[in-house]
Structure 1
Amino acid sequence: MNTEQKPRGTDFFATHPVFSLDEAVADLAPGGKRLRVVERLKHHLRVGRLKHVTREIYAVVPPTWSPEHFHPDPFLVASAMYPDGVFSHHSALELLGAAHSLWNQCTLYINGRRRPLVLEDATLRFLDIPLSMKGDSDKQIGTRRIERQGKLLNVTGPERTLVEGFSRPALIGGLEELVNSAAGFTTLDLELLEEVLSRYDMAKLWAETGWFLERFQNVFHAPDALLTRMEQHRPRSRAYIERGQRGGLLVKRWNLIIPKVVLSPGEPDER
């Protein structure tokens, strides 16, 4: 007689605060008895132990909560939907512990397109993976793994988050949020940063990132030679750092017109 016991639902729930139906089947019914698992999940839904989040995605309701008032972590929901997804922009700032503010929008790169998913207290936004950020075997450049509630999530690292924040500031909470948050990064891999910029190969991104590094040169130990190389890629004509921006000061070295709110006191400029 086989005395080996399969994991019980409660054991699975303890280690999977948010999970997909496929995960539950793999853990609770290795033989593939999907319908039996579905019936077990329906039972836990009826008694309030689980909450149905979206198609084939479930969240474990804490003992002291009711399903109606419990909102699962949107990062875990997104990861359960797309285990290989990579969190980006403001979501990356949050996971990296650098964000100055919380946001009710969660963004991640996935293969293929999908419409945003509106949850009860957050919106999940799915982005196409930039082709220039794909490395060998489709592994994305400039990513790392961050633990959240016992689960490892894929996230863009500080270098790529900085560059892509300048590329799409609306997804990172605006320019001021980006600058204030990125200034709190513990370190930047300057070689990787230069690689990311080279892959995107956009003059404005070179200049924006160069301006940021020059402002925080002592913090990130950016050598003058690196700033000189970045300066050589700057736009030929003056450019606003934000689309639709009005006003600001011209920082001549980078040919960028930058809002006063993010300029440091005494920063070189031309009115």
Structure 2
Amino acid sequence: MKVPSNNLKKNYLSVKNEIDSAIKRVINNSSFILGNEVENFEEKFSNYLKTKYCVGVSSGTSALFLSLLACGIGKGDEVITSPFTWISSVEAISNTGAKPVLVDIDKESYNIDSKKIESKITKNTKAILPVHIYGNPAEMNEILSIAKKYNLKVIEDAAQAHGSKIKKQYCGTFGDLGCFSFFPSKNLGSFGDAGCVVSNNKLLINKIKKLRNHGKFSKNNFDTLGFNERLSGIQAAILTVKLKYLDKWIK
């Protein structure tokens, strides 16, 4: 079977008028960082996935990193993940000070082999970070069962899984947190770096909202060390346009 390459120019031309109008609107409104455009996309993407919350961030890598921090992952901890993934999955774990523990993949799905996870769990294991590689869903039911047994957090790397489902539930909505990338080559791609975190856990989402914006919890008030990982208004506006066509593009 031949899989055609993603033609970014062709993709843009198919929705050019809407994209150009959205960019012009952001410029006219000077809504460049966070603001209404970002909030609008967050609402629409969470509605699409049927999850309660969505937080736009600067990249898929940032989504993973901030999610791990929000779950309290740090030095001395271990996080189980797949060796067959983009570097961001392991990089994000390492940047928290935690140790990535690699579990071999299933030969059929190329995703982490859930049957091999338990043997890698130690007293330092704090989370499992499954990757839905190429949009092919990982064995989430089995992974969630293991996580529940050992009281572990589950952070999904759904960077390549926009619109992928297990039965009727979207990838990225099974674990405590789901992380998406909107890199230009993705099924749902922006015109630069962008990402988001989705969840039904309000406490974790509020932590990520603060962490993405320098630890800010209200105007000129900060109560924790954070980062500059905010989603821009232009990328959010572009993604809002493209989201309407996602199901058609991945059909």
TM-score if structure 2 supplies the norm length? Answer: 0.23
Higher RCO (Cα < 8 Å, 6 or more apart) = 2
TM-score if structure 1 supplies the norm length? Answer: 0.22
Structure 1 or 2, whichever has the larger Rg, is: 1
